[in-house]
Structure 1
């Protein structure tokens, strides 16, 4: 047997002999003890996502026409109903005047036909034709008025304008991009969770958002919608959350780290990880009860930076051996001192 192995075995035997001797003398080995603490423990799911505008719209004309005037500045905040763009309306106004004149003529013809019919000087067919003509002229007037209204483009809701794509004097075609309008408060957050976590996520759960632009800050939101269909390729589920954005500090398109708070236990029982003694598949702790060692099996939950959550096995008023438990056995008398105290 190698010499260093012999020396190691001798040291173990001497250590055990010292422990046994101290126990027989009534002194017992010295161990450090702690009391369980209560604290907040959270079950979390960490993933990544991107921010989106609550509403995002590209302002476009519905009819062709020359851009007569822009009523906004790039990056300007606007309110619903604010006038943004005026197209040249000369033709539309002329069409409206023509339609109004045609309606006046049709209305006069209808009155004349009604009078002649009452006197028996006209038949029902002529009256019906005059009535139909008047209705057609009213429809033409409504159409001309609608075309004139479409030369004035207004903001559909409150928001912030982006960069314009046109200049005054341009001839615009229907559907051509003019400027984008974004609603930045609140914002949407889109992210995905893996298939195995689908059952743990539900609307209303809190999410925490972190991003490099604000490294020391945490933003909060809530899950607002869950896509009922999983992505076939990635076997993941699309989730959407909503978060407030006061001051408009966050921007659509930013890549963020998302923490979904699945559950919170504000009064969870916590002990130091070094107090846990693994024994095969079992986890044990050594307690000091009336000055003697007692072992108890526990079940752990989350592990948080050197502390472990105890889900079963402890009530919270026990005294645990955190250091020196390898020197003791059940029933042995021990001397104690608080963990971290000097010798």
Structure 2
């Protein structure tokens, strides 16, 4: 009697065991809409938009420096005065010579009009007057060359001379740099150059500001491909109003090829590899469903799903290894942070 009751109880427990077993627990997330960009990442350097060396065109002694090193200047500002004693004396002499030549020409004209002189004498006086006028213009030009002005707005560098130095024509005085905007010089592989056009947006990153990206725009593409590296040189402009970027800095350049502001993304760990195919495990009516999808860009732990997924569906991000097609699951929703 006792053995019969024991067998009956064991049979009841065995038959009812599946009813007490819980389905596997999985974590699910909701697909998100995010900005996804196709980028071409390379490296480059910053250059001044304009960079020149202030040099004298004539020999002379430095009489005065009208600037401070590192000073911002405007176009036309006086930078250097050379000693002009000799050139001013030459100018005064040229003015006196012109005055005399003009009077001689006037006298020759009056004599010719009264028939007291011939045309040759008048023409010679006219030529002397014209030569004296040219000498005066030359003397004024030489005097102007003793005063050096800034050719455009910019920031001065470090000077190479001091007041009292004797300079030869073409000797370095100080460099002038245009720092806003700056040029970004970089290269891209030959196969990628065809995807870039003037006006295309770029973003650069520098070690000095690791958490920021500075926006620029491509403005020139070298039509000639470098034969050694099979790459193409490009230039872009990037704004630098706050002077946080410096010429010569090494930069990482991201050329923005395409943007999709409402791309569908899921956590990278939700992807289910199946040979050469990619799948996602979804939850539909409390059951696991495996579906093939086409993925796109991957970045920062997220992957873009180009095809095969709807934004309203639930994606299993953890635990898909414990389930099979059509098996019942218990769901725990997970909120992902950035």
TM-score range, shorter chain: 0.7 to 0.9
Task: Write the distance in 2 (CA, Å) between the matches of 1:335 and 1:314.
Answer: 20
Shift of 1:73: 2.0
After superposition, the Cα gap between the structure-2 partners of 1:85 and 1:30, relative to the gap in structure 1 and judged at 3 Å, is closer
CA distance in 2, matches of 1:338, 1:161: 64
Aligned CA distance change for structure 1 residues 193 and 64 (closer, same or farther; 3 Å): same
Q: Secondary structure at the match of 1:247?
A: coil
Paired residue for 1:45, among 37, 40, 43?
Answer: 40
3-state SS, counterpart of residue 93 of structure 2: helix
1:340 CA drift (Å): 4.1
User: Would you say 1:112 and 2:112 are equivalent positions?
Assistant: no
Gaps of 5+ in 1: 1-20
In the alignment, the residues of structure 1 paired with residue 171 and residue 318 of structure 2 have an alpha-carbon distance, to the nearest angstrom, of: 74
Give ranges in structure 2 of 5+ residues lacking alignment: 1-16
Q: Is 1:240 aligned to residue 208 of structure 2?
A: no
2:279 corresponds, among 262, 284, 292, to 284
Moved more, 198-207 or 65-74: 198-207
Q: Please name the residue that 1:14 is paired with.
A: none
Which residue in 1 is equivalent to 2:332?
A: 338
Equivalence map 1:126-137=2 (5 Å): 126-137=121-132
Q: Shift of residue 237 of structure 1?
A: 1.5
The Cα shift of 1:62 comes to: 0.3
1:169 pairs with 164, 179, 190, which one?
A: 164
- SS of aligned partner of 2:79: strand
Deviations 1:88-143 (A, max 9, x none): 11111111111111111221122122222222333333333322222222111111
**For the residues of structure 2 that align with 1:195 and 1:25, how far apart are their CA atoms?**
64
Which shows bigger deviation, 220-229 or 175-184? 220-229
- 2:116 is paired with a residue whose SS is coil
Q: Deviations over 1:224-255 (max 9, x none)?
A: 22222122211111121222223323221122
Equivalent-residue separation in structure 2 for 1:326 and 1:157 (angstroms): 68
| Partners of 1:322 and 1:339 within 8 A in 2 | no
Find the aligned partners of 2:180 and 2:314 in 1 and give their Cα distance.
Answer: 51
TM-score w.r.t. length of structure 2: 0.85
The DSSP-based 3-state class of the residue aligned with 2:279 is strand
Give 1:327 shift.
4.6
Residue 238 of structure 1: SS of its match in structure 2?
strand
2:201 aligns with 206
What does the per-residue CA deviation read over 1:189-212, in whole Å, with 9 as the maximum and x for residues that have no partner?
212122222122222233222222
Cα shift readout 1:12-31 (whole Å, capped 9, x = no counterpart): xxxxxxxxx96x99986554
Q: Following the alignment from structure 1 to structure 2, what is the Cα–Cα distance between the partners of residues 28 and 228? A: 64
Pick closer, same or farther for the CA change 1:239–1:328 going to 2, 3 Å: same
User: What's the C-alpha RMSD, in Å, of the aligned pairs?
Assistant: 2.5
**Deviation of residue 221 (structure 1)?**
2.1
Q: Cα distance, 1:294 vs. partner? A: 4.1
Listed as ranges, the matches of 1:34-183 within 5 Å are 34-183=29-178
How far apart are residue 288 of structure 1 and its match? 3.3
Query: Does residue 265 of structure 2 align to residue 265 of structure 1?
Result: no
TM-score by length of 1: 0.84
Write out per-residue CA displacement over residues 245-272 of structure 1, whole angstroms, 9 at most, x where no aligned residue. Answer: 2332322112222222222211110122
